[in-house]
Structure 1
Amino acid sequence: MTVFITACEELVEVPLTNSQLTSEAVFSEETTAEAALLGLYADMRSTGILSDLFYEMSLYGDDLDYYGSSASSEQQFYDNSLIPTHPTVKGWWDSSYSQIYQANAILKGLETAPFETSFKNQLQGESLVARAVLHFYLSMLYGDVPYINTTDYQENTSIGKTEATIVRSQALTDLQRAIELLPWEYKTTTRTRPNKGVALALCARIALVQKEWELALACSSKVLDHTESYTWQEDLNTIFLKESPTTLWQWFPSGSNVNTTEASILSFETAPPPRVALSSELINSFDDGDLRLSQWIKTVADAYYHPYKYKAVGNEPEASEYSIVMRLAELYLIRSEAQTQLGQLTSAAADLNTVRKRAELEEVTATSSAELLEFIIQERRHEFFSEMGTRFFDLKRTGQVNAVLETVKSGWDPNDALLPLPESELLINPNLGPQNPGYE
């Protein structure tokens, strides 16, 4: 394991083994405790679920078409033909629980650490955010999964599954504690470490999945009302720059000159595409006048399209774009959806129109909840394509996943709404069984 400490917002490698992570020495000084936390972020950025969702789950859903090698493991995501031995299925599971272990080890170490309260609160709050978001995405991908809040090795290796809705409820509990602990002020000007606003935004994201409309409304409103931290921008070309005031949380890159993985994987200049392109279903779903069609999508050879949100491909003297985990537009659309579900249609339409007007689309009039919800889901598709697997998870949580994907994906089966549990994990720990339906 490698962890990082921040000095003038540059990352400096500090080696730290897994055994050292739980030692008292790590939590005897602030620098080493903070290094453990930043090491967790480095792992989350570089390996596992949060680093890969934008790609694999866009292939799994209907954002991307695949043009690469049919022998690649990526083809199985695109064909929805995953098996329990697929390397990514196991890799996401292993890396996520390793990262959850790191978060738990930090929380345990902080219990008796001799630090100032404000410093301890900061690290505790950030660790709770990490634990919550990892459990959330595990539940969204695999369904019922273990919820781990201990570093007890024997207990963790024999633990059984927890119902997915309960896993997400426990994640909300972690986030509500993080909201109490974290300040509004960011620890870094680059917004690469969570603050209170990030904890609130993640709370709103999970509450939407849980259909806890009042909670989603309250959390999103607190973020949107905090204009000292977050400022709406009308220029689409500034949204993905690392200095954007609409960003809530983004990853610090592996090097100060390294731009995003998203741009390096999704961009191409020749036809046919060497790897992936945006699906024709997505392109055809845009209104002709939607600015996102012209400013966030690039055409190649008048026939293929790739995301052009991140425009910097390759390294630069100084990176201009960081990979974004959360941004402000999501909070407007979460609040709009929650308000619609609560019958507050006028306010819901106003929030929806904030996002639509930036794309130079006509305002939507609040007529019925059903119509407004349809506009919101479509708006989320056009706003968040190729980001964090948002489209696929929206189809799942709204109950549309089968109706939509079976019409555009020849291999789609209703059981594909969940990924298989890793076969190797079921062999090691039978308490994780049974295997998800369709993968037995």
Structure 2
Amino acid sequence: MMKKHRYINKKSRILSVFLPDRNSTLKIGIISLLALIMIGCEKFVEVDPPKNVLIAEEVFQDPNTVASTIANMYYQMREQGMVSGLNGLSIVMGIYSDELDYYGFSNDYLAMYTHNVNASNGLVDEWWRNAYQIIYLANNILEGVNNATELSSNDKERFMGQAYFVRAYLHSLLVTMYGDVPYITSTDYLLNNKVARDDENEVYEHIIEDLKKASELLPVEDESGERVIPNQIVAKALLSRMHMYRGNWEQAQTIATEVINTTGYYLQEDLDKVFLKNSPETIWQFKPEGIIQLNTYEAAQLIIEFIPGQSYSLHNNLLAAFEQDDLRRVHWVNSISSTAGDITLYFPYKYKQTINTTNESLEFSIVFRMAEQHLIRAEARAHLNNIVGAQNDLNTIRERAGLPPVNIGSSIGLIEAITRERRVELFTEHGHRWFDLKRLKKANQVLENLKPNWRSTDTLFPIPINELEMNPKLQPQNSGY
């Protein structure tokens, strides 16, 4: 059975405004006026949530209540939707591609695993709805902070920088999953109710523009001390990824270099410590405080403790992708055998802590880390015919894994090697494998013989049927659905 985890902190207070017609996400049906609908996050970034019902103007005049509002936004990202380790990209796109096998009984998950997804799929609907709710909250923060008269300029910049980043990040996930999507920049639900889908290229332009604003407004330093609040480095990490996705190789190389050269951020040489909460490799992570007896959702979902009883295991294709003597295979993969000894299953072991036996969590859920930036720069350099530079970045990752350096003299050969390295370095992390298959146009080649129901149109999810019914301007539906 698929594991579900929901923990509620009853101390939190909620201020909700009920807008007309909850059925359409873009109408923002039942949603908090100020991102205060999220529950149980009063320790998320060590800022208590507001204790009283406040009107909008008052909330945005006080840096503490604004910080709490933003903390609640991160809480919702951590708990549900595409970013969450509970039922987000790491899990779902792992079974959708060739990283994970699925043993549960959820119809929505089985549809993902077997490629029988339709426009009524609950995950397709939840991801869309959750993403646009968070985008709405980010827009609310941008408008409220911009109009605040009692916030300092420094406070305004750091709050607006975070909101620009979140808006860009959620749109970056939506466009990769659904293709043409609306880029929402307003809290006017009457306007959003009638919005049409923007061309994919235009969406990426807006994302890059928002990330540039975020990187200009956010501080360089990590104000949380735990890398749980996005700073300038976080915005640049996503910006380098977006430039890679768009084939903007000069920009991808330049920005990845800025991230790599940032003081205090570097590869953790000990593979067993890469995913600990204080790893210098972490760029941004979610703090799991408030989740009872749990370090990360990733560990709780993916570590197999009993057979039968497992929900997921690593796919044989992924296991076969590791080279001999790859230390990641030793340190980041574990196995368990049935009592009879006739079944052995392998599972991701990047996160190693399930039950929390101490007073504090040992692992946080990492969203961005430095290894990806080295691989982004390696790919950019290969496309720019900087063979030596590409080899250096690629071999930096391979050396940590105990593998010999590559000495490939062609850009094409290097790009293939980098793609293979990304697979074994970033497996079961936020859908990287799926996004690589899609952007490199390898999905058909890899999945048509692996997934019996695979169709070339499966590279995009359908627009949820509820959204199409409520807003006909979202038509036409994606091909194949």
Identify the TM-score tier after normalising by the shorter chain: over 0.9
* Cross-structure match for 1:275: 311
Pairing 1:391–2:433 present: yes
Pairing 1:252–2:252 present: no
> CA contact under 8 A between 1:4 and 1:12: conserved in structure 2?
no
Could you tell me how far apart the structure 2 residues matched to 1:85 and 1:351 are?
A: 43
For 1:395-406, what aligned pairs fall within 5 Å after superposition? 395-406=437-448
Q: SS in structure 2 opposite 1:159?
A: coil
| Cα displacement string for residues 226-279 of structure 1 (whole angstroms, at most 9, x for unaligned residues) | 1x2202221100100000010000002142763100000111133356211000
Pick the aligned partner of 2:160 from 114, 117, 124. 124
Could you tell me how far apart the structure 2 residues matched to 1:331 and 1:128 are?
A: 21
Percent identity of equivalent pairs: 39
* Cross-structure match for 2:222: 186
Pick the aligned partner of 1:416 from 425, 441, 458. 458
> CA contact under 8 A between 2:158 and 2:218: conserved in structure 1?
yes
Assess, with a 3 A threshold, how the Cα gap between structure 1 residues 378 and 189 changes in structure 2: closer, same or farther: same
> CA contact under 8 A between 1:4 and 1:36: conserved in structure 2?
no
> CA contact under 8 A between 1:185 and 1:195: conserved in structure 2?
yes
* Cross-structure match for 1:355: 397
| Cα displacement string for residues 199-218 of structure 1 (whole angstroms, at most 9, x for unaligned residues) | 11000111111111111111
Pick the aligned partner of 1:219 from 239, 255, 280. 255
Pairing 1:32–2:65 present: yes
Pick the aligned partner of 1:60 from 74, 92, 96. 96
Q: Which runs of 5+ in 2 are unaligned?
A: 1-36, 338-342
Could you tell me how far apart the structure 1 residues matched to 2:388 and 2:44 are?
A: 46
| Cα displacement string for residues 319-350 of structure 1 (whole angstroms, at most 9, x for unaligned residues) | 10010000000000000000001111110000
Pairing 1:264–2:300 present: yes
Assess, with a 3 A threshold, how the Cα gap between structure 1 residues 8 and 39 changes in structure 2: closer, same or farther: closer
* Cross-structure match for 1:315: 356
Could you tell me how far apart the structure 2 residues matched to 1:5 and 1:427 are?
A: 34
Report the AA paired with residue 389 of structure 1. Answer: G
* Cross-structure match for 2:273: 238
Could you tell me how far apart the structure 1 residues matched to 2:44 and 2:421 are?
A: 39
* Cross-structure match for 1:135: 171
Assess, with a 3 A threshold, how the Cα gap between structure 1 residues 7 and 65 changes in structure 2: closer, same or farther: closer
- Which region of structure 1 is more displaced relative to structure 2, 112-121 or 384-393? 112-121
Pick the aligned partner of 2:83 from 50, 56, 78. 50
Cα deviation for residue 72 of structure 1 reads: 3.1
Cα deviation for residue 299 of structure 1 reads: 1.4
For 1:132-211, what aligned pairs fall within 5 Å after superposition? 132-211=168-247
> CA contact under 8 A between 1:251 and 1:322: conserved in structure 2?
yes
Could you tell me how far apart the structure 2 residues matched to 1:411 and 1:387 are?
A: 25
Could you tell me how far apart the structure 2 residues matched to 1:11 and 1:303 are?
A: 45
* Cross-structure match for 2:471: 429
Assess, with a 3 A threshold, how the Cα gap between structure 1 residues 362 and 273 changes in structure 2: closer, same or farther: farther
Could you tell me how far apart the structure 1 residues matched to 2:398 and 2:377 are?
A: 14
* Cross-structure match for 1:306: 347
Could you tell me how far apart the structure 2 residues matched to 1:361 and 1:24 are?
A: 57
Pairing 1:94–2:135 present: no
* Cross-structure match for 1:81: 116
Assess, with a 3 A threshold, how the Cα gap between structure 1 residues 8 and 404 changes in structure 2: closer, same or farther: closer
Assess, with a 3 A threshold, how the Cα gap between structure 1 residues 213 and 175 changes in structure 2: closer, same or farther: same
State the aligned residue count: 434
Could you tell me how far apart the structure 2 residues matched to 1:191 and 1:353 are?
A: 27
Cα deviation for residue 291 of structure 1 reads: 0.4
Q: SS in structure 1 opposite 2:452?
A: coil
* Cross-structure match for 2:374: 332
Q: SS in structure 2 opposite 1:306?
A: strand
Pairing 1:365–2:407 present: yes
| Cα displacement string for residues 160-196 of structure 1 (whole angstroms, at most 9, x for unaligned residues) | 0001221122111000011111111011111001111
Q: SS in structure 2 opposite 1:192?
A: coil
Q: Could you say what the CA RMSD is over the residues aligned between the two structures, in angstroms? A: 1.7
TM-score (ref. length: structure 2): 0.87
Point out the structure with the larger helix share.
1
> CA contact under 8 A between 1:200 and 1:219: conserved in structure 2?
yes
> CA contact under 8 A between 2:44 and 2:289: conserved in structure 1?
no
Could you tell me how far apart the structure 2 residues matched to 1:274 and 1:155 are?
A: 46
Cα deviation for residue 7 of structure 1 reads: 6.8
Q: Which runs of 5+ in 1 are unaligned?
A: none
Could you tell me how far apart the structure 1 residues matched to 2:202 and 2:227 are?
A: 30
Could you tell me how far apart the structure 1 residues matched to 2:192 and 2:357 are?
A: 43
Could you tell me how far apart the structure 2 residues matched to 1:8 and 1:198 are?
A: 18
> CA contact under 8 A between 2:96 and 2:112: conserved in structure 1?
yes
Assess, with a 3 A threshold, how the Cα gap between structure 1 residues 15 and 171 changes in structure 2: closer, same or farther: farther
Could you tell me how far apart the structure 1 residues matched to 2:361 and 2:48 are?
A: 17
